Amino acid sequence: MSRTITAAVLRHPDEPFALEQLSLPEPVEDQILVRVVASGMCHTDLLPRQPGSFVRPPIVLGHEGSGVVEAVGPRAADIAIGDHVVLTFDSCGTCLNCLDGHPAYCTTFWPRNFSGRALNGSASATDADGGRVAAQWFGQSSFATHALASARNAVVVDATLPLHLLAPLGCSIQTGAASITRALGVTVGDNVAVFGSGSVGLAAVMAAHAAGAAKIVAVDTEPRRLELAQELGATHAIRGNTDELRRALKRIAPEGLDAALDTTGLPAVIDVALGALRLRGCCGLVGSPRADLTLSRTAVSLGRELKGILQGDAVPKRFIPTLVELWRAGRLPFDRLITEYALEDVNEAERAMRSGEVIKVVLRPPSA
Helix and strand numbers (H, E) in the chain are 10, 18
Given CA atoms 333, 337, 341, 343 in this order, what sign does their dihedral have? negative
Query: Can you give the pLDDT at residue 121?
Result: 66
For the chain, give the mean pLDDT.
94
Assign 123 a pLDDT band (cuts: 50, 70, 90).
low
Domain 2-170+333-364 has CATH 3.90.180.10: yes
Q: Please state the pTM of the whole predicted model.
A: 0.96
Model confidence over 8-60: pLDDT tens digits? 999 999 999 999 999 999 999 999 999 999 999 999 999 999 887 788 899 99
Q: Is the CB of residue 85 less than 8 Å from the CB of residue 155?
A: yes
Which of 42-46, 225-229, 237-241 has the highest average model confidence (pLDDT)?
225-229
Strands 277-286 and 305-309: parallel
Q: Check whether the bond before 58 is cis (ω within 30° of 0).
A: yes
Model confidence over 242-293: pLDDT tens digits? 778 999 999 999 999 999 999 999 999 999 999 999 999 999 999 878 888 8
Residue 120 confidence (pLDDT) above 90: no
> CATH 3.90.180.10 spans which residues of the chain?
2-170+333-364
Distance CA 339, CA 362 (A): 6
Q: Is the CB of residue 6 less than 8 Å from the CB of residue 16?
A: no
CATH superfamily, with its number, for domain 173-312: NAD(P)-binding Rossmann-like Domain (3.40.50.720)
Query: Can you give the pLDDT at residue 343?
Result: 98
126-141 mean pLDDT:
95
Model confidence over 163-203: pLDDT tens digits? 999 999 999 999 999 999 999 999 999 999 999 999 999 99
Which of 161 and 300 is assigned the larger pLDDT? 161
Cβ neighbourhood burial of 60 (10 Å; 0-12, 13-18, 19+):
buried
284 phi and psi angles, rounded to 5 deg: -100, 140
Residue 368 confidence (pLDDT) above 60: no
Q: Which of 117-121, 154-158, 182-186, 312-316 has the lowest mean pLDDT?
A: 117-121
Residue 297 confidence (pLDDT) above 80: no
> CATH 3.40.50.720 spans which residues of the chain?
173-312
Query: Can you give the pLDDT at residue 301?
Result: 76
Q: Which of 14-18, 115-119, 128-132, 159-163 has the lowest mean pLDDT?
A: 115-119
333-361 mean pLDDT:
97
Q: Which of 92-96, 115-119, 171-175, 292-296 has the lowest mean pLDDT?
A: 292-296
Rounded to 10 degrees, the C-alpha dihedral 49/55/57/58 comes to: -120
- In whole angstroms, how far apart are CA 166 and each of 99, 136, 335, 366? 27, 20, 8, 18
- For 216, the enclosing helix (H) or strand (E) is strand 215-220
Assign 122 a pLDDT band (cuts: 50, 70, 90).
low
